[in-house]
Structure 1
């Protein structure tokens, strides 16, 4: 499959596939507390089989052209990922997301990988609107949306529930005509 270099620091974007289950589990175990601060991604992954099942669910989304999962590797170690949470080529919209373990944060990995995904979605698949949804408390995630040139569409007040607390969700987006124009 592919391995796309994200710079000269050993960072790569690769597909995350069921045979990566053990690596994925080890990665989640290293970053579980950090990742879980704002999102539940991977919270139910407790062993290799549940890791494989989560990855397989995204492989099925990829086959149905409705989503996909991509890993971020740094010097050969899985440290995070980016995804199309939803993907609707016919409707021209998708929602992207990310997660990262703490040792890999602050390097711009998510921003660089997301540029690859968004470029592909817009320029290859004809997506017109790319959305980013994050808790208002997740400043790191909101900063990625800003670095990508996304615009804040609004705040969905108390629209989410996480760890027994209501949370505001911010919706950010970039339109195809804005992508790469510095808007």
Structure 2
């Protein structure tokens, strides 16, 4: 379908579809502890069938234009992904997110992939507000939001119970005019 190069390091952004269930499960198994530090992504995918169900749920979201899932491959190996958790073209809003296994961390993969997703959302789909939510304890995720030029809108105090602790959730966003201005400055 598509494979978008993310640079000279062999990284690619590709669709993550139900037929990737075995590869997706193997990826989750490699990174389950790392991924699960701050988010419950993939916790219900414990076998090929449940992995396929998760991927199918996002394929259904893509079909209804309400979300989508995209994998990050590094030298042919799935190491993480980015997603539109919520996508509302009518209201011009979306929420983006990500996850990585250790082999993909610290390489800028999420930032590079997210620039492609946000650019597409703003320029192709007319999205006005792109939102990013992360636990205040998830510094790598907060740093991605900063690198993307997002502004911190606020903190939802103790809004997310996870692993027996109520986590603060930071809400970050970038508006279409801000995105375009930041992109123009970067291309000078």
Length-normalised TM-score, structure 2: 0.96
Q: Secondary structure at the match of 1:83?
A: strand
Q: Does 1:34 align with 2:24?
A: no
CA deviation string 1:96-139 (max 9, x = no partner): 00000011100000000000000000000000000000000000
Unaligned runs of 5+ in 1: none
**Structure 1 residue aligned with 2:89:** 89
Instruction: Give the secondary structure class of the aligned counterpart of 1:21.
Output: helix
Secondary structure at 2:9's aligned position in 1? coil
Instruction: After the TM superposition, list the runs of 4 or more consecutive aligned residues in structure 1 that deviate by more than 4 angstroms.
Output: none
The separation in 2 between residues aligned to 1:73 and 1:167, in whole angstroms, is 30
CA distance in 2, matches of 1:60, 1:164: 31
User: Which residue of 1 is the match for residue 139 of structure 2?
Assistant: 139
Count, aligned residues: 183
Deviation at 1:180, TM superposition (A): 3.8
Map 1:62-81 → 2, pairs under 5 A: 62-81=62-81
Give 1:6 deviation, angstroms: 0.4
Does residue 47 of structure 1 match 2:47? yes
Please, what TM-score do these two structures have when normalized by structure 1? 0.99
Q: For residue 110 of structure 2, what is the aligned residue in structure 1?
A: 110
Give distance in 2, aligned partners of 1:180 and 1:37: 33
Two-structure CA RMSD over aligned residues (Å): 0.8
Cα deviation per residue 1:22-78 (whole Å; 9 max; x = unaligned)? 000000000000000000000111111110000000000000100000000000000
- Structure 2's unaligned 5+ residue stretches are none
